[in-house]
Amino acid sequence: MSEQATLTRKDFQSDQDVRWCPGCGDYAILKAVQSVFPELGIPREKFVIVSGIGCSSRFPYYMDTYGFHTIHGRAPAVATGLKVSRPDLEVWVVTGDGDALSIGGNHLIHTLRRNVGVKILLFNNRIYGLTKGQYSPTSEIGKKTGSTPLGSVDAPFNPLALALGAGASFVARSVDIYQKHLVETLRQAAAHKGSAFVEIYQNCNIFNDAAFAYMTGKAERADANLYLEHGKPLTFGADGDRGIRLSGVGLEVVRVGENGVTEDDLLVWDAHAPNAALASLLAHATPPAFPTPVGLFRAAAQPSFESQVVGQIESTIEKQGSGSLESLLRAGETWTVD
């Protein structure tokens, strides 16, 4: 019955015309997801993609799996109901920075707090695409858009810091065009048992082109990215000689070989630390002072919400037997009229 043995990328491509703008970063993410799904050894019919509203949220139409294009900001809530009632399904949420962090912020943090076993892919293009380019909660201060002609004045969210503050058990970041890195990150997310939150930097070439060029540009890439690899020291730079070390309660960029710094001084990355402190520190490491960390920030083993909800039901039935409707209706004090 299951088809997993033979699944390929093609099996996950739906017959719908893809309707993103030519050059949109969403294409690359679609490709990455379509590459990872067949690898997972899960029958195609078990996948459900749930999305909100936005350019990114058109995603389910292009995947030949079950898909639910819901309403703006509510995908995590719909996904929670689905996953809790059907833990056998693989539920992936696709959302945008407006969808997830503006109107949907509350559902997002509660889903993460509860550790519902859904994977959340946040396509962060730092703009509202579908509504034609208003600033979003991840737009940098001073962003000039239709709704902020003189520039926005409010500080953006740091999505990873927010997710960690909400208690997320899995937090990662990747970039649309880092195809290999993205695929690997998605694999890690797929393997995680509770909520997996993945921020994906995504270029909107129409309304916010080159928003990530500072780190994805050819010239910049080597020095501007810090690849997090569990168990490895944090190094970066074209020559691999730069690194990150702890300094008091903060982080510091150093160069190995300078001022007596050796590789041993560098922070060794621990993505599985029980507490989120280090991951938070890294989440706050932002350019220009730091290279942008990408990869796995945190993956902590914690019981999933649905497993515990179902557990209470199962153990009750185990102890008391499956309820009898007859007895339930007649429960409490009854009397008989003949």
Partner 1 sequence: MSTTASTQDSGGARTEVQREQLSDVVVRFAGDSGDGMQLTGSQFSNTSALFGNDLSTLPDFPAEIRAPAGTLPGVSAFQVRIADYDIHTPGDAPDVLIAMNPAALKTNLGELRKDGILIVNTNDFNKRNLIKAKYEANPLEDDSLEGYRVIEVELQRLTRQSLEELEIDNRSRDRCKNLFALGMVYWVFSRSLDPTIAWLEKKFAKKPVIAEANIKALKAGYNYCDITGVFQTRYEIQPAKLEPGTYRSINGNSAFSLGMVAASRRSGLPLFLGSYPITPASTILHELARYKQFGVTTFQAEDEIAAVCAAIGASYGGSLALTTTSGPGLALKSEAINLALITELPLVICNVQRGGPSTGLPTKTEQADLLQALYGRNGESSLPVIAPATPADCFDAALEACRMAIEHMVPVIFLSDGYLANGSEPWRVPEVEDLPDLRRAFAERPAEDDDSFMPYRRDEKTLARPWAVPGTPGLEHRIGGLEKEDVTGSVSYDPENHERMVHLRAEKVARIADSLPPLEVTGSPEGGPLLVIGWGSTLGAITGAVNLAHAEGLPVSRVHLRHINPLPNDLGEILARFDKVLLPEMNSGQLASVLRGRYLKDIVTLSKVQGRPFSRGEILAAIRQHLES
Ligand X SMILES: Cc1ncc(C[n+]2csc(CCOP(=O)(O)OP(=O)(O)O)c2C)c(N)n1
Select 24 or 120, whichever has its Cβ closest to ligand SF4: 24
The letter for the amino acid at 114 is R
The sign of the CA dihedral 10, 93, 32, 46 is: negative
Is residue 203 part of the contact set for ligand X (CB under 6 A)?
no
**Contact window for partner 1 (CB under 8 A) among 18-26, 190-198, 221-229, 260-268:** 18-26
Residue 271 binds: one of ligand SF4, ligand X, its own copies, none (C-beta under 5 to 8 A by kind): none
CB 96 within 8 A of CB 114: no
Q: Which of residues 95-114 bind partner 1 (CB under 8 A)?
A: 102-103, 105-107, 110
Is residue 97 part of the contact set for Mg ion (CB under 5 A)?
yes
Among 97, 176, 199, 306, binds ligand X (CB under 6 A): 97
The mark string for 141-180 relative to partner 1 (x by CB under 8 A, - otherwise) is -----xxxxx------------------------------
Q: Could you give the maximum distance between any two Cα atoms of the chain, in Å?
A: 97
CB 129 within 8 A of CB 262: no
**Contact window for Mg ion (CB under 5 A) among 69-77, 117-125, 243-251, 297-305:** 117-125
- Shortest spacing between CB 206 and Mg ion, in angstroms: 11
In degrees, rounded to 5, the angle at the alpha carbon of residue 245 between the alpha carbons of residues 239 and 249 is 155
> CA–CA separation, 47 vs 92, rounded Å?
8
Residue 26 binds: one of ligand SF4, Mg ion, partner 1, none (C-beta under 5 to 8 A by kind): ligand SF4
Instruction: Go through 300-317 and write b for each residue having 16 or more CB atoms within 10 A of its CB, e for each that does not.
Output: bebebbbeebeeeeeeee
DSSP category for residue 51: E
> CA–CA separation, 62 vs 15, rounded Å?
7
Per CB under 6 A, residues contacting ligand X are 53-56, 72, 96-99, 123, 125, 127-131, 136
